[in-house]
Amino acid sequence: MAAKTNPAVPAVLSPRALGRATLERQLLLRRSPMPARDAVGHLVGLQAQNTKPPYYQLFARLDGFDPAELSALMESREVVRIVTLRSTIHTHTADDALTLRPLVQPARGRELALFRGGLSGVDLERLAALCRELTEERPRTPKELREALLAEWPDADPQALTVAARCTLPLVQVTPRGLWGRSGQVALTTVEHWLGRPAEPTPGPDATVLRYLGAFGPASVQDMQRWAGLTRLREAFERLRPQLMTFRDENGVELFDLPDAPRPDPETPAPPRFLPEFDNVLLGHADRTRVIPPRFKGCNGNGNQAYGAVLVDGFLAAIWRHGAGGGEGTVTVQALGRLSRTERDAVTAEGLRMLATMTQADPSTHEIRFASFVDFADRGPAGARSGAAGS
pLDDT tens figures, 77-103: 999 999 999 999 999 999 999 999 999
Q: Can you tell me the distance from the alpha carbon of 365 to that of 104, in angstroms, rounded to the nearest whole number?
A: 45
Q: Show me where the domains of the chain are located.
A: 18-195, 292-383
Tell whether the model's pLDDT for residue 71 goes beyond 80: yes
If you compute the radius of gyration of the chain from its CA atoms, what whole number of angstroms results?
22
Q: Can you tell me the distance from the alpha carbon of 132 to that of 110, in angstroms, rounded to the nearest whole number?
A: 21
Element (H, E) at 367: strand 367-370
Q: Are 257 and 17 in contact (CB under 8 A)?
A: no
**What does the pLDDT read at residue 258?**
98
Q: Can you tell me the distance from the alpha carbon of 314 to that of 355, in angstroms, rounded to the nearest whole number?
A: 21
Q: State the average pLDDT for the chain.
A: 91
**What does the pLDDT read at residue 327?**
79
- pTM for the whole thing? 0.91
**What does the pLDDT read at residue 378?**
47
- Mention every residue, 6+ apart, whose C-beta is less than 8 A from residue 291: 19, 22, 23, 281, 282, 311, 314, 315, 316
